[in-house]
Homo-oligomer: A and B are copies of this chain.
């Protein structure tokens, strides 16, 4: 009776993609317009999937209000209306691609979830581009 529940959340943030030790030309060649030194931004949408057994009394895998609150406190308050490169220590030494942001979200939430749950995260950078971790 293992089932998954998915909750959507969102945050709006600025970022840029570039490797400090590279030249501007190389950054532009690899990251294109995403390397703009003055940043650009996105409406990020995350889908957090928690998998576990259904509690026979409550009929719930996890209390959604608990999951919603965890996502707000740990992810949305941390990243919403922030500059990921400048404001967020998580990306001090990590390039904030959708891939890395997704993995960081997973790592933060994993620490706060009981180990009886499996966890995966889907992150939309735009409606057309999104990532899932773990694969």
> Chain A binding site: helix, strand, loop or mixed by DSSP?
mixed
Q: How many copies does the complex hold?
A: 6
Q: Which of A50-100 contact B (CB under 8 A)?
A: 51, 54, 57-61, 63-65, 80-83, 86-87, 94-100
Once A51-B135, A100-B59, A135-B51 are accepted as A-B contacts, the answer to whether A81 and B40 lie under 8 Å apart by CB is: yes
Query: How far is the CB of A55 from the nearest CB of chain B, in Å?
Result: 9
User: Known: A8-B127, A14-B14. Contact between A99 and B41, CB under 8 A?
Assistant: no
Residues of B within 8 A of A12 (CB): 40-42, 126
Q: Are A41 and B13 interface neighbours, CB within 8 A?
A: yes
Q: Which 3 A-B pairs have the closest CB atoms?
A: A41-B41, A33-B81, A59-B97
